[in-house]
Amino acid sequence: AQKITQTQPGMFVQEKEAVTLDCTYDTSDPSYGLFWYKQPSSGEMIFLIYQGSYDQQNATEGRYSLNFQKARKSANLVISASQLGDSAMYFCAMREVYNQGGKLIFGQGTELSVKP
């Protein structure tokens, strides 16, 4: 069963506008963590933001924020004031705390293109 779903294979956004990348997840673990990573065309995986399942407030890191809706099992990434350098693949990932080890389960990714 797919545990992380990213339904947008590709998205376009105008420079300086905000964009939301969707992520839904499925787990029976009461404690879990949700992550977003960015993968530019150069290939490296860059950590962006983390949300714990018990965190009361949505996580924010600079221009990145995570819209966490626990009841709907969604963890959407919001990028404000998009920049050309934001063009990349974005992956949502989940870690189930009580699962064995600390492995991350990734979605299929969303390719974001920022237009000047």
Partner 1 sequence: DSGVTQTPKHLITATGQRVTLRCSPRSGDLSVYWYQQSLDQGLQFLIQYYNGEERAKGNILERFSAQQFPDLHSELNLSSLELGDSALYFCASSVAEREETQYFGPGTRLLVL
Summarize as ranges the residues that interact with partner 1 (CB under 8 A): 33, 35, 37, 43-47, 50, 91, 93, 95, 97, 100-109
CB of 7 to partner 1, least distance (A): 14
CB of 15 to partner 1, least distance (A): 26
State how far the alpha carbon of 19 is from the alpha carbons of 1, 40, 87, in Å.
28, 17, 12
- What distance separates the 2 farthest-apart alpha carbons in the chain? 45
- CB nearer partner 1, residue 62 or residue 101: 101
Nearest to 45 by CA among 101, 90, 97, 81: 90
CB of 103 to partner 1, least distance (A): 4
Q: Quick count: other Cβ atoms within 10 Å of Cβ 70? A: 11
CB of 44 to partner 1, least distance (A): 5
- CB nearer partner 1, residue 4 or residue 13: 4
Beta carbons of 102 and 95 less than 8 angstroms apart: yes
- CB nearer partner 1, residue 13 or residue 48: 48
Pairing outcome for strands 10-14 and 110-115: parallel
